[in-house]
Structure 1
Amino acid sequence: MAHLLGAEALHLEYPTTVVLDSVTIGVEEGDRIGIVGRNGDGKSSLLNLLAGRLEPDGGRVTRRGGTRVGVLPQDDGLDAGATVGRTIVGDRPEHEWAGDARVRDVIGGLVADLPWDARIGDLSGGQRRRVALAALLVGEWDVIALDEPTNHLDVEGIAWLAEHVKGRWPRGAGGLLVITHDRWFLDEVCTATWEVHDGVVEPFEGGYAAYVLQRVERDRIAAATESKRQNLMRKELAWLRRGAPARTSKPKFRIDAANQLIEDVPPVRNPLELQRLAVARLGKDVIDLESAGVAYGETEVLRDVTWRLAPGERTGIVGANGSGKSTLLGLLAGTVPPTSGRVKRGKTVRLGLLDQQFSQLADIGDDRVREVLARTRTTFAVDGKDLTPAQLLERLGFAREHLSTRVRELSGGQKRRLQLLLLLLDEPNVIALDEPTNDVDADMLAAMEDLLDSWPGTLVVVSHDRYLLERVTDQQYAILDGRLRHLPGGVEEYLRLRREQQTRPATTTADPAPRPAGPSGAERRAAQKEVASIERRLDRLGAEVDDLHRRMAEHDQSDYEGLQALTERLREVEDEVASLEERWIELSELVG
């Protein structure tokens, strides 16, 4: 493979830290490299050095003659007075850029919802980010370097970006460098992973799953002293091998030794035990949304949402930006009142909400972390062990030297750690997490997942991070056209539904054929009869669901087999309810 760019004996240091020390690496034609590491370990510095945006203190960066490198930094640097269109395509005449298939694809995939003549200064931070990414991708580049490109992108946008970079260059051509905490994206796109740590850059073959396997093997061979970190990686490895084995099929290295590590590691969660504990803490009533809707003026965000949140339920919520995911969490938390329908909460519910704005930290910005922890509980039980708040914070990857830092001076990732810790110490029995992966690195995410695995309660997660949703939730729902829809097929089903949703209007508009006649009288009567039958069946199933919850709450909690049978029946009933509700909607449109 031909050399594109690289570095020889790179050295970079700041007044108090050596960021990179004698680093030699290279990017060849066809490389798709993910860059991972803890926050502050030098990932962005490495990217900027290779892209020529930062000068090293020692060593040199090499580049093949004529190699064009495009960079998406964390700060967009866009002209606030320019329009969206001018920022993306510049002064190119419309017939020129509109005739370029790649330009059209980028515009359609990233900024189709933005007015072409909107001012950059009037856009939100997420919209500006998408414009900056589009402006980069319409260009011709031999190497593209992306620093956190998935920030502010929804699940659809992330899936589009993955397909774009996979098909951007012919096989064996071009080069990609990407820093991201989105582990699904790393697995989907990258053929190699660089871990930046302790001043060095360590290469691994494959995406995130392969990186985890090799890292555990490396730690085993080196007899690493970081036992806490290694134990966490063992649990993550168990998830990867048991929960998603297809992801580990690409690596060519020997993994027999790594597999020995997990022979005696139990599954990451014991659903039956967590269900038993959740029922004991919550009873059968958690939160019920009954035909709930939320409107802001003339804009209806949510409509006719009916959802019975069960004890121990672990649910992920996906949807496009602005679809109403945070509003749905607000309904659950009681911070957003319904404008139609109602919300019913169990008497024992204690809900903890981790929001995107760090609102839990607003009143303690001038306090030092040590002072905040001193006002909390003295111990917290995790996996049967009592940990102090400081130990729990350390388990979340928070360095002890930061305990003396004022809360407002913490980085975004550190604030997220503290926010989660304070949430857990408040002992809620229902937790709602709104985009918890923002500002945190892969190690922090693994630590967060580890804590949530053993947390006995009801969990609702809104996230664009597909890996996190698969890892910590057992089922997923989507918000589509203001309604809540169950996704038996997970995120892939959501993406399929969105593709169908987006192509349906275009097909209708383009079809010159006359509109078909409505259903005949006989068809309408048959549909009405089936609707009535479904409604009666749904009533019976609803009663059965209530009865199953009651029986589970009253059942002998030591009878695991009996509880398992009740749990399996409950799942069967809920699946049938979901299927019947979909059919009811189809028929209602026919007879409506």
Structure 2
Amino acid sequence: MAHLLGAENVSMSFGTRTVLDSLSLGLEDGDRIGMVGRNGDGKSTLMRLLAGRMGPDEGRVTKRGDVRVAYLDQTDVLDGALSVGEAIVGEAADHEWASNPLVREVMGGLVGEVDWHAEVNSLSGGQKRRVALAKLLIGDHEVIMLDEPTNHLDVEGVAWLAKHLKNRWRANSNGLLVVTHDRWFLDEICTRTWEVHDGTVDPFDGGYAAYVLARAERDKTAAVVENKRQQLVKKELAWLRRGAPARTAKPKFRIEAANTLIADVPAARDTVELNKMATARLGKDVLDLENVSLDFGTGKPLFNNITLRLAPGERLGIVGVNGAGKSTLLQLLNGQIEPTSGVIKRGKTVKTAILTQEVKELDEIKDMRLIEVIKAERMSFEVGGKEVSAGQLAEQLGFGTDKQWTTVKELSGGERRRLQLLRLLIGEPNVLMLDEPTNDLDTDTLAAIEDMLDGWPGTLVVVSHDRYLLERVTDHQLALLGDGKLRGLPGGVDQYLELRAGVHGTGNTGAPTDKTGPAATPEAAGPTEAEKREARKELNRVERQMGKLETLIKKLHTEMAVASEAMKFDQVATLNATLQGAQSEKDELEMAWLEAAETLGE
């Protein structure tokens, strides 16, 4: 592979803090690299150095002479006085750019719904991000560097960008370097991972899932990381292994190694036990929206006769198009907004808390030190059946002893969100609502928050464009498609993307009817009785086959473990091939089950 660019013995310091220390690395043809690490450890600094936007204190950055580099900063650098069209294509006439298939693809994928003649200053944050991405992606570059490209993008936009970057170049040509906290995005497009920490970079093969496995193996072998971090990484790995089948079907994710590492790791959440605890705290009634409509006087209701019933311990994820009312729905549940019509019922013991996107709640305490804020709220907190001090909880969210003496106004955006979440949890709500909680947070912090939420016994509602987070901490999802209705998503985020792409259309909307969680019922003509009978038969057939496959898969895991201990690697390879086939068959059965269940409205 040909060298594109790199760094030789590069060092970079800010004040007395060394961010990069004698670092040497390179980007080669065909590299698709994701950078991870804690906020402030130098990811963006390294990217700016490699992009030529700043110079190192020591060492040098090298670049092949003909390499053209495109770089997207975290802040969109656009002339606000220009129209959208001028900002993207400049003075080019329509026939000039429209004849280029790459430009047409980018325009359709990113700015198809944005007013071409609108002034950039009039756009929302998400629209500006799409315009900045479109301007970059229509160019012809050998290297593309993206710093948090998914910020302000919805689920649909993130999925489009991942598909475009995967298909943009031949597999062995050009290079991509991306910094993002979106772990699904990292896993989808990256073939290598750079972990930036303590002034250096550790390289790993594969995307985020493979990186988590490799890091767990490294930590286990070297025994250099404290037990708490070990358990957190293993628990995250256990979820990755047991989660979405597509993630673990990739060849780069070595299943036999994962099985050994997670053999003694329990499920991420004890759902039954948490539901019992939630019911004890909440009773049977939590929050019900019954035939609720909301109209802000625009002539088009934001919500039109929706019904939503939240059960004790329910974990609900909400996705939807921009402007469909996701944040407003949380405000309705939180009692901040009253509906135009319909009824909102709240259980007698319900105590809600909401983490907003702006975190303006911290402005009034901006001059207090972090530890003073924590002590003013509460000194201890119960999580996962164990009592921990507020200081211990703060450390779990990444606030070390030194950081606890920092004033609130000196905290970064991600640190402010962590502090506000900590304040909310210390207040012991039993219904917690999170509005885009992943903004400004690094992957390690997200894993720590998810681990904490695993043991939190209450009802959880999460609005997010981060599909990894939704799959990780919620048990089912609802969609807001912009038509005033709620739509159940038994197929998860993938089903939402299919609906938006028009695979199933967007006309089948409805509302849940019981207290076991969201499940949509179509307003349009539903399936016939004959179709329901066939679906019921299919459901029974599939469940019988899945039961047999589960037994087979458990047996194969046991046999692989025995063969591995006996160092019979040929036998391990044969068993693994059989396991892969069984897993693929199980994946197909799961899709068939979802289709039959949707027909029955289950």
TM-score, structure 2 normalization: 0.83
Q: Does 1:414 align with 2:415?
A: yes
1:349 is aligned to 2:350: yes
Contact 2:34 2:186 in 1 (8 A): yes
Alignment of 1:212-227 (within 5 A): 212-227=212-227
CA distance in 2, matches of 1:528, 1:29: 52
Q: Deviations over 1:400-429 (max 9, x none)?
A: 212121112210111111111111011111
Shift of 1:131: 1.1
Alpha-carbon distance in 1 for matches of 2:218, 2:438: 27
CA gap of 1:65–1:205, structure 2 versus 1, over 3 A, is: same
User: Superposed, which structure 2 residues align to 1:143-162 within 5 Å?
Assistant: 143-162=143-162
After the TM superposition, which residues 235-314 of structure 1 pair with which residues of structure 2 at under 5 Å, given as runs?
235-244=235-244, 246-250=246-250, 259-298=259-298, 299-314=300-315
Change (3 A) 1:65 1:494: same
Tell me by how many angstroms 1:179 deviates: 0.4
Q: Secondary structure at the match of 1:296?
A: coil
- 1: distance between equivalents of 2:115 and 2:253? 49
Q: Which residue of 2 aligns with 1:372?
A: 373
Over 3 Å counting, the alpha-carbon distance change for 1:348 and 1:577 in structure 2 is farther
Spell out the pairing of 1:190-589 with structure 2 (5 A cutoff). 190-244=190-244, 246-250=246-250, 259-298=259-298, 299-480=300-481, 481-500=483-502
* Structure 1 residue ranges without an equivalent (≥5): 506-525, 535-574, 583-592
3-state SS of paired residue (1:96): helix
CA contact (8 A) 1:301 1:324 kept: yes
1:325-349 deviations in Å (ceiling 9; x for gaps): 0011111111121112221111111
SS at match of 1:27: strand
Q: Do the aligned partners of 2:490 and 2:598 also contact (CA within 8 Å) in 1?
A: no
Which one-letter code corresponds to 1:492 in the other structure?
A: D
Alignment partners' CA distance in 2, 1:38 and 1:577: 42
Unaligned runs of 5+ in 2: 508-523, 533-594
How far the C-alpha of 1:322 sits from its partner, in A, is 1.2
Contact 1:356-1:435 within 8 A present in 2 as well:
yes
1:248-270 deviation line (CA, Å, top 9, x unaligned): 44465877565433221110111
Give the stretch that moved more between structures: 382-391 or 437-446: 382-391
User: Using the alignment, how far apart are the partners of 1:576 and 1:501 within structure 2?
Assistant: 17
CA distance in 2, matches of 1:503, 1:234: 40
> Counterpart of 1:140?
140
**Letter aligned with residue 444 of structure 2:** D
In the TM superposition, what whole-angstrom CA distance separates every residue of 1:364-415 from its partner, at most 9, and x where no partner exists? 1121112111212221122333211111011111222121211122101111
Aligned residue for 2:556? none
Alpha carbons of 1:430 and 1:142: their partners in 2 closer, same or farther (altered >3 Å)? same
Distance 2:256 2:491 in 1: 32
Three-state SS of the structure 1 residue aligned to 2:402 is: helix
Partner in structure 2 of residue 8 of structure 1: 8
TM-fit CA distance, 1:199: 0.3
Give, as a single letter, the amino acid of the residue that structure 2 aligns with 1:289.
L
| 250-259 or 205-214, larger mean C-alpha shift | 250-259
| 2:379 aligned partner, one-letter code | T
Task: State the alpha-carbon separation in 1 of the partners of residues 224 and 317 from structure 2.
Answer: 35
Contact 1:210–1:251 (8 Å) recurs in 2: no
Q: How many residues align?
A: 521
Percent identity reads 61
Q: Deviations over 1:452-487 (max 9, x none)?
A: 001111111000001000000000110122211100
Q: Residues 206 and 250 of structure 1 are in contact (CA less than 8 Å); yes or no, is this contact kept in structure 2? A: no
**Residue type of the alignment partner of 2:484:** G
Shift of 1:242: 2.1
- Secondary structure at the aligned position of 2:77 is classed as coil
| Partner Cα separation in structure 1 for residue 235 and residue 270 of structure 2 | 13
Q: Partner of 2:46 in structure 1?
A: 46
Contact 1:217 1:258 in 2 (8 A): no
CA distance in 1, matches of 2:114, 2:600: 37
In the alignment, the residues of structure 1 paired with residue 52 and residue 243 of structure 2 have an alpha-carbon distance, to the nearest angstrom, of 41
> In structure 1, what is the Cα distance between the partners aligned to 2:155 and 2:484?
17
Partner of 2:178: 178
Greater alpha carbon shift after TM alignment, 492-501 vs 30-39: 492-501
1:22 alignment counterpart: 22
Q: Following the alignment from structure 1 to structure 2, what is the Cα–Cα distance between the partners of residues 160 and 171?
A: 18
Rounded Cα–Cα distance in structure 1 between residues aligned with 2:465 and 2:477:
12
- RMSD over aligned CA atoms reads 2.5
Counterpart CA distance in 1 for 2:3 and 2:25 is 11
8 A Cα contact 1:205 1:251, kept in partner: no
The DSSP-based 3-state class of the residue aligned with 1:403 is: helix
2:301 aligns to what SS in structure 1?
A: strand
* Counterpart code for 2:502: E
- Distance (Å, rounded) in 2 between the aligned partners of 1:214 and 1:192: 12
The whole-number CA distance in structure 2 between the counterparts of 1:211 and 1:180 is 14
Q: Is the 8 A contact 1:72 1:136 kept in 2?
A: yes
Deviates more, 1:393-402 or 1:414-423: 393-402
- Match of residue 104 from structure 2: 104
Matched residue of 1:375: which SS? helix
For residue 61 of structure 2, what is the aligned residue in structure 1? Answer: 61
What is the deviation of 1:434?
Answer: 0.4
* Matched AA of 1:303: N
- 1:431 touches 1:458 (CA, 8 Å); kept in 2? yes
2 CA distance for matches of 1:527 and 1:382? 46
Deviation at 1:580, TM superposition (A): 6.5
Deviation of 1:80 after TM superposition, in Å, equals 1.6
